[in-house]
Amino acid sequence: MKKTTTKIITVSFMVIIILFLGCKKEKGFLASNDSEYLPQDVKQTCTVSESEFKSWFASGSITENGLVEPANSVAFPHNNNCDFYKWSEQMFLWITSPASAAYNGKGTVLESSVFYNVSPPDSLNKRTLTEHKPNQVLRAVSNINQSGPHRLPVLIDKSGKMFEIEAEKSNEKVKDESNKLIQVDHIVANASGLHSFFDIKGKVIKNPKPVIDTKIKPSEVVQQFKVGNKSIFLDSTGKEVQSEQGQAGSHGALMGENKSLVYYITMVNDVYAYFLTGVNEGKLNGNQFPTTAAARDSILAYAKTKGWATPPDPDALAMELKTSWVEVKDLPNPETYVTIKAVIPTYDKSNPNAWVENGETTTTLALVGMHVVGSVAGHPEMIWATFEHEKNSPNDAYTYRDVNDKIKQVKADTGKGWLFNANANDTTGPQNIQNMTVGHDSILIKDPSVNSPTARRIMAWGVASNTVPNGEDKTPADSNSEIISINNAVRSMLVGNDIRKNYLLIGATWTFGGAGPNGNVYPYGAVNDSIPAGDAIGTGQLSNSTMETYVQPSSTVSNDSTAISCFSCHNQNNGVQPGDLSHVFDEIISLPANTGNKKVKRKS
């Protein structure tokens, strides 16, 4: 693994301003100490002791870029929020550890044979698994779908409510004011931006209402209609839904300040792949992801019948990763990133409005974001954690609780040096504006004159600023303090130039009681001050600025329809069956026998 070099800040005729709200250094400059720009006077409500942290390392001691063992998900204690955050930190450190010492491989654990790439869906909506093999370069794609619980694209309206989008069909019909079905011929906008629908005879259709064909509750769906190169959306009552600019639909593309598109790789681990194949063949119980020693052992026994070697880390249970990357080229600080070799698509950019895919190339990619999702004891709905590189995107303002039990306010991040925000000093203007969309074999650009991204983490640490975030934390400041303090603890104990110091845990979410997600976010599902099973808790309104860039709601929420969590999209049927939670599980084709026979057992 490539090691970081010491960061040196040369100060010449300038003053580095320290915001003395917890010694928070303005992030327009790279900090000389990786942890300095996080509040250092935060109340230590979630920490890991040095002795426990040492036990995470395979060697039993903390070493620079050393191999970390995965968390034992079978023995996961799930006593409090901090247990979930420590699990998340340990899993990220393991996944980004060098693999050579334990897996006879090169690069990181995520590049080793422990993980499989999940392909994009084919024309039949099927996906395949590709085992990571030595000297085999991974493949990345240039967009990640943002789908709702019913696998439809999503839209966030201006109030923050999420809808799923039913795409326009050919010969689309609407109901007129007499409830009669009328075929739409065209739509015209007047000078005020109001739209009129016309039938095939050129007559105005009065009070048009869409015909929602999906089985989803109509009030949670909007119908798409094309008007030239743009789309408008009608809800079930015929009201035009106004979305935040660029937040309609999926297939959004993101570009960094280094002019690299963001590329994505979805992966699952060997336990997940074996379990999926056993469920598909009717050999394993597919009611939920594995959470017990007995379920683990059943998977291992089944793998043996297929000729697959035992996974080196079966106690990690089932894991799914979504990772985001940029090209290393022109990054100002490439030594601070975990990197891999990967194949990416290339584009003919001669048309500024539409870049056409014209081949592929092998390049070095730098890790900018990661969703770490895994099943653990007591929680078949899985823990959903996310991480970002510290220089990705500025935070909006947030609060935390200090060592004197006082709540402090941290101003919105400003300054320069952000990979996905060129004008962080503008904290009130439009943020997270989608300008690029992935079409069929192309990237469509809305405005070629827009050359810089505007990404910002609206909820800095995964909770709204005006609600009680979970049953343990009575204020957003208390929840934020847990995430900040575990980040401080881990980053301060990593030694030397450990490259993992440059990444932040943004938060993690799960459901109360490990129940099937009900789509609610605490406290909006709460009744009589209790927490209903299935409410999203922890940092329940979590977003990654490289993967949910364009579907981040306001930092304040007004009701349950504007409170959005991971489980707002991963909650089909409100159950814990794998296909209810994972958008890829039901689409993946089973592994053939003997695919895993080259996996290696961990050396003692």
Q: What is the pLDDT of residue 559?
A: 60
What integer best gives the mean pLDDT of the chain? 84
CB 15 within 8 A of CB 348: no
Residues with Cβ within 8 Å of residue 192, at least 6 apart in sequence: none
Q: What is the mean pLDDT of residues 109-126?
A: 89
Task: Retrieve residue 49's tokens.
Answer: 């002791």
Secondary element (H or E) of residue 571: none
* Average pLDDT of the residues in 156-177: 78
Say which residue the tokens 């009575």 belong to. 474
Q: Cα(232)–Cα(196) distance, rounded to whole angstroms?
A: 11
Question: Which stretch of 55-69, 161-175, 451-465, 547-561 has the lowest confidence by average pLDDT?
Answer: 547-561
Instruction: Report which secondary-structure segment, H or E, holds 375.
Output: strand 354-376
User: Rounded to an integer, what distance in angstroms lies between the CA atom of residue 584 and that of residue 406?
Assistant: 44
- Taking residues 287-310, report their average pLDDT: 96
Per-residue pLDDT tens digits for 480-497: 999 999 999 999 999 999
Beta-strand pair 407-410/436-439: unpaired
Asked whether the CA dihedral 439, 442, 448, 451 is positive or negative, the reply is positive
Is residue 411 scored above 60 in pLDDT?
yes
Token couple for 142? 């240039």
User: Which of 214-218, 369-373, 438-442, 555-559 shows the highest mean pLDDT?
Assistant: 369-373
- Sorted by where each begins, the domain ranges of the chain are 18-96+390-586, 100-147+252-368, 159-241
The pLDDT of residue 531 is 66
Question: What integer is the mean pLDDT of 583-595?
Answer: 86
Lowest mean pLDDT among 188-202, 314-328, 490-504, 522-536: 522-536
pLDDT at 423: 83
**In 284-422, alpha helices (H):** 293-305
State the pairing for strand pair 138-139/339-348: parallel
Residue range 356-384: average pLDDT? 96
Q: Which residue has the tokens 């990133």?
A: 337
pLDDT at residue number 194 = 84
Cβ distance 97 to 66 under 8 Å? yes
Q: Does the reported pTM lie above 0.85?
A: no
- Residue 293: pLDDT band (50, 70, 90) is very high
CA atoms within 13 Å, Cβ hemisphere of 78? 22
Residue 309 has pLDDT above 90, yes or no: no
Sign of CA dihedral 579, 583, 589, 592: negative
11 falls in which pLDDT band (50, 70, 90)? very low
Cβ atoms of 518 and 574 within 8 Å: the answer is yes
User: Mind listing the pLDDT tens digit for each residue in 450-481?
Assistant: 878 889 999 999 999 988 889 899 999 999 99
User: CA-CA distance, 286 to 278, in Å (whole number)?
Assistant: 8
pLDDT at residue 533, rounded to an integer: 79
Q: Which residues of 306-341 are buried (b: 16+ CB within 10 A; e: fewer)?
A: bebbbbbbbbbbbbbbbbbbbbbeebebbbbbbbbe
Indicate the range of 130-134, 338-342, 368-372 predicted with least confidence: 130-134
Pull the structure tokens for residue 100: 């050579």
Cis peptide before 332 (omega within 30 of 0): no
φ and ψ at residue 324, rounded to 5 degrees: -125, 145
* Residue spans of beta strands (DSSP E) within 250-333: 252-253, 263-269, 319-327
pLDDT (0 to 100) of residue 146: 57
